[in-house]
A and B are shown apart, each in its own frame.
Chain A
Amino acid sequence: MKLLVIIPAFNEEGAIRTVIREVQAAVPGAPVLVIDDCSLDETKAAAREAGAQVLPLPHHLGLGGCVQAGYKLAYELGFDYVARVDGDGQHNPADIPRLLEVLQKKNVQMVIGSRYSEGGGEYSSVPRGLGIMLFRMVLRPILGKAVHDPTSGFVAVNREALKVFSHSFPLEYPEIEALVVLQRKRFQFEEVECIFRDRMAGQSTITPMKSFRYMIHVLLGVLVNILRKRAVS
């Protein structure tokens, strides 16, 4: 099994070393690729120091562009599986083997590490909880099955999904739209219950205004993805 662990990172100098070491401990031998989205701090140096390879973007692309760069490289290098872990330490890399196990055994194209699988987990704020509930309602008829944590960025994908994502991946707020992209290919996904942690360092850049923009963008993106012609084969 050829696995690559990708970590999209923007100004994660404070957490990136620990995240990389945790990944190395969780999946020994798997290469770790940090995609640096033009950080203003020493994220790149810290990642290299911790033993990761770094894909340095020439300018800030945002999360979607950053993750897709990792998917493209992974696809070109012939990896069979890619696990994506955030660089802020919220995802516990110890859960990666469970995600991979489900990915292989259930014959699905993507597995999501879910905070709210089977309705469990606590929402970090009321607006966030409401937003997630709204997305669940919107996605349920589109995907044909329930998704409990559509905003989770803790995912593992196989080579089929990798091929699709390396060609077509939502750019600004990718997680939810990526599910719609997969559905259009008739791909399947599963959720695995995970416990997310607090950020190890730094502060979240999410503000109420950004959350509102996020919701509008995502709903529009989902609509566009549904209406778009099936161009990617």
Chain B
Amino acid sequence: MERLIQLVNVVSLLLMLVVFLSLRRQRIRPEYSVAWLGACAALFLFSVWPGPALWLQRMLGLPDRPLALMLIVFAVFMAVFYRFTVRISDLKDSNIALAQRVAILEFHIRSLDEKVKNSNGN
């Protein structure tokens, strides 16, 4: 089971590295990297510092610490997923409103163009 803790350790560090690289290549905007970096840092801390996992293990009556750590991993990433789902939903709404506004403005511009052309024709 200790291997599982080491795995979480390595995965959290790797994930942090991937996020940093993505930031450097501008594939992730800094404001969206904060949740990932925070989650990675939290996982790394929980895996090297047994206190919170041991507390959770005792609280829930779990048989061992790695299971408690996996529960923490699950909770942290669920929180990240939820945060991003909310953000994506907001962005989708904004995107639709923006697309509709662009279409309406294009419609008005075309109408004005036609009016100008007609008045010039007269």
Interface residue ranges, A against B (CB under 8 Å): 35, 53-59, 61, 65, 68-69, 72-73, 76, 171
In B11-28, the 8 Å CB interface with A consists of none
Determine if B106 and A65 form an interchain contact, defined as CB atoms under 8 angstroms apart: no
B residues near A, CB below 8 A? 96, 99-100, 102-104, 106-107, 111
- Within the complex, what minimum Cβ distance (angstroms) separates B90 from chain A? 14
Chain A hits for B107, CB < 8 A: 53-56, 73
Interface contact B104-A72, CB-CB below 8 Å: yes
9 other A-B residue contacts (CB within 8 Å) besides A57-B99, A65-B96, A72-B100:
A53-B111, A55-B103, A56-B103, A56-B106, A58-B103, A65-B100, A68-B96, A69-B103, A73-B104
Bound complex: CA of A65 vs CA of B100, how far in Å?
8
User: Closest residue of chain A to B101, judged by CB?
Assistant: A72
Note all chain A residues with C-beta closer than 8 A to B102: 58
- Choose one: B100, B106, B111; the contact of A61 (CB below 8 Å): B100
One of A59, A61, A69, A171 near B104 (C-beta < 8 A): A69
Let me know if A58 and B104 touch, CB within 8 A: no
CA distance A70 to B4 in the complex (A): 56
Chain A residues contacting B96 (CB-CB under 8 Å) are 61, 65, 68, 171
Q: Name the distance in Å between B47's Cβ and chain A's nearest Cβ.
A: 38
Residue among B96, B102, B104 with the highest chain A CB neighbour number at 10 A: B96
Of the candidates A55, A59, A69, A76, the one having the most CB atoms from chain B within 10 angstroms of its own CB is A69
Determine the chain A residues whose CB is within 8 A of the CB of B104 once the complex forms: 55, 69, 72-73, 76
Query: How many angstroms between the C-alpha atoms of A69 and B99 in the bound complex?
Result: 9
> Chain B residues near A59 (CB, 8 Å)?
99
User: Bound complex: CA of A182 vs CA of B104, how far in Å?
Assistant: 24
* Alpha-carbon distance A73/B106, docked complex (angstroms): 11
Once bound together, how far apart are the Cα atoms of A224 and B106, in whole Å?
33
Q: How far is the CB of B45 from the nearest CB of chain A, in Å? A: 38
Question: In the complex, A200→B107 CA distance in Å?
Answer: 28
Smallest CB-CB separation from B93: which chain A residue?
A171
Determine the chain B residues whose CB is within 8 A of the CB of A57 once the complex forms. 99-100, 103
The answer for the CA separation of A53 and B96 in the assembled complex, in Å, is 21
> A167 CA to B107 CA in the complex, in Å?
19
CB distance from B26 to the nearest CB of A (A): 23
Listed A/B pairs (20) with beta-carbon separation below 8 Å: A35-B103, A53-B107, A54-B107, A55-B103, A55-B104, A56-B103, A57-B99, A57-B100, A58-B99, A58-B102, A58-B103, A65-B99, A65-B100, A68-B96, A69-B100, A69-B103, A72-B100, A73-B104, A73-B107, A76-B104
> What CA separation (Å) do A69 and B102 show in the bound complex?
10
Q: In the complex the two chains form, what is the Cα distance from A58 to B106 in whole Å?
A: 10
CB distance from A67 to the nearest CB of B (A): 10
CA–CA, A26 to B104, complex, Å? 26
Q: Which residues of B have CB within 8 Å of A68?
A: 96, 100
The distance in angstroms between the C-alpha atoms of A81 and B24, with both chains bound, is: 53
**Separation of A58 and B95 alpha carbons in the complex (Å):** 11
Shortest Cβ gap from B41 to chain A (Å): 35
Closest to B111 in A: A53
Q: Could you tell me the distance in whole angstroms from the C-beta of A84 to the nearest C-beta in chain B?
A: 16
